[in-house]
Amino acid sequence: MKKIAIYIHIPFCDHKCIYCDFYSVIKTDSMLEFISSLKKEISSHNSLMNKMEITSIFFGGGTPSLLSPKLIGEILNLFQKKYMLSSNCEITLETNPGTVDLQKLKDFKKMGINRLSIGVQSFNNDELKFLTRIHDKKLAIKTVEDGGEAGFENINLDLIFALPKQTTEIWESNLAIAAELPITHISAYSLILERGTILNKLVLDGKVKMKDSDFDASLYEFTIHYLSEKNFIQYEVSNFSKEGYESIHNLSYWEHKNYLGFGPSAHSFVDGKRWWNFSGVKQYVDKVQKRGDAICGDEHLSNEELQTEYIMLALRSKGLDLLNLNKKYGSEWLLKNEDFINELINNNYLFKRDNFIKFTDKGYSLCDEILLKLN
């Protein structure tokens, strides 16, 4: 039986953070209508889902923890009644400090959530204020500790580095606090300037100055070494976990496996075909109510496009299995890039073990530039 990962986009937020470009809405008056449509969309995939085993369910957003545990439970019950979940199905809820307390976290766990992903971003109050987060350092720490007390044994933290006024010392403090908390996973992202965000306008207006690429790279390399010393294993460019706690859901993306997205702006990828939903909540609800889905576009990837995605995703994560590549797509790509790959190995950007190539720490810091040169 084929495996599939499920993503559910919950678009509601209490406010829009200055750096965020994910689709979200501030008003929650349409929440119940949205949930009704979401359930309808989920139920409409019988012909596809009946052939699949679900390995993970990820509630992303937006801020899914704004929903009540009861509503989250209703969505999970629908999957459990209609489809097949693996015995170790990973069920993640994104949550932000300030939207949950200990009791709410306990209730989420009772509903079936077994992994938390907490959007802390920083433990520095000045940075949190700049990022327009609704929490402070004290509440961030308490939320993580409450997650542990609520019984969650698998907790991720999101952290952002290379903020405009961040120093190496501030970033080290963020990592040090995180490493002492009851967590199993850290997602550490560089602050990216996305078009259409409030931050982008502030930079264009000259009110904020971003860090340069050299400082960004130095913090990234520092992160890799620091977390390695704290027994966090890097298994993707931005992701680090304790042994055995890699995200099953995220690995589905990086290993180019099937995934199915529900909700506004959600994307899906199944058997070489990709499709995506309308973004607006109102448009999403209207489409689902009329026809059972909200698909607004799709594409069938060519064999060459599939190969390129497979290679790039593998190199960004656990590495590229050359035997598996040859089995799936043949030897042409490797022969074409052999000299460059050997050059990368000789210069300590890649290492090769048996028939497996992977970025070194040095290579990870330049992976985007290197991947552009592979063809």
Over the stretch 305-364, which tens digit does the pLDDT of each residue have? 999 999 999 999 999 999 999 999 999 999 999 999 999 999 999 999 989 999 998 999
| Burial group, residue 368, by CB count within 10 angstroms (0-12, 13-18, 19+) | exposed
Mark whether 127 and 234 lie in a shared domain. yes
Structure confidence by residue, pLDDT tens digits, 212-232:
989 999 999 999 999 999 999
Render pLDDT for 296-306 as a digit per residue (tens, 0 to 9).
999 999 999 99
Q: Say if residue 205 is in the same domain as residue 348.
A: no
- Residue 15 is assigned to a structural domain of this protein: yes
- How is the chain split among helix, strand and coil, in percent rounded to 5? 45, 25, 30
pLDDT in tens, 114-168: 999 999 999 999 999 999 999 999 999 999 999 999 999 999 999 999 999 999 9
Does residue 248 lie within any of the structural domains? yes
Residue 307, in any domain of the structure: no
Domain CATH for 112 = 3.20.20.70
What was the pLDDT predicted at 14? Answer: 86
Are 247 and 336 members of one domain?
no
Q: How many domains does the chain have?
A: 2
Q: Are residues 190 and 89 in the same domain?
A: yes
pLDDT at residue 28 greater than cutoff 80 = no
Last residue of a domain, one of 233, 254, 275: 254
The boundaries of the domain holding residue 369 are 322-373
Average pLDDT over residues 94-113: 97
Residue 161 lies in a domain: yes
| Domain assignment present for 340 | yes
Q: Are residues 208 and 338 in the same domain?
A: no
Name the residue type at position 64.
P
User: Are both 98 and 235 inside the same structural domain?
Assistant: yes
Q: What is the mean pLDDT of the chain?
A: 95
CA angle at residue 236 from 372 to 150, to 5 degrees? 150
Last-in-domain residue among 227, 254, 281: 254
On whether both 343 and 241 belong to a single domain, the answer is no
Q: Is residue 306 part of a domain?
A: no
Domain boundary among 254, 280, 296: 254
What band does 272 get if pLDDT is binned at 50, 70 and 90? very high
Quick one: 196 and 52 in the same domain?
A: yes
Question: CA–CA distance from 15 to each of 1, 20, 99, 173, 244 (Å)?
Answer: 42, 11, 12, 27, 35
Task: Write down the pLDDT at residue 321.
Answer: 95
- Token pair, residue 14, equals 């209490």
For residue 79, the model assigns a pLDDT of 96
**Position 19 confidence tier, pLDDT thresholds 50, 70, 90:** confident
Query: Is position 283 within any domain?
Result: no
- Entry pTM: 0.95
Structure confidence at residue 268 (pLDDT): 98
Whole-number pLDDT of residue 112: 97
- 236 and 368, same domain (yes or no): no
* Shared domain check, 154 and 42: yes
- Which of 24, 97, 107 is CA-nearest to residue 71? 107
pLDDT digits (tens, 9 = 90+) for 286-322: 999 999 999 999 999 999 999 999 999 999 999 999 9
| 276 occurs within a structural domain | no
Q: What's residue 334's pLDDT?
A: 93
d(CA 254, CA 310) in angstroms, rounded, equals 8
Report the alpha-carbon distance of residue 359 to residue 362 in Å, rounded. Answer: 8
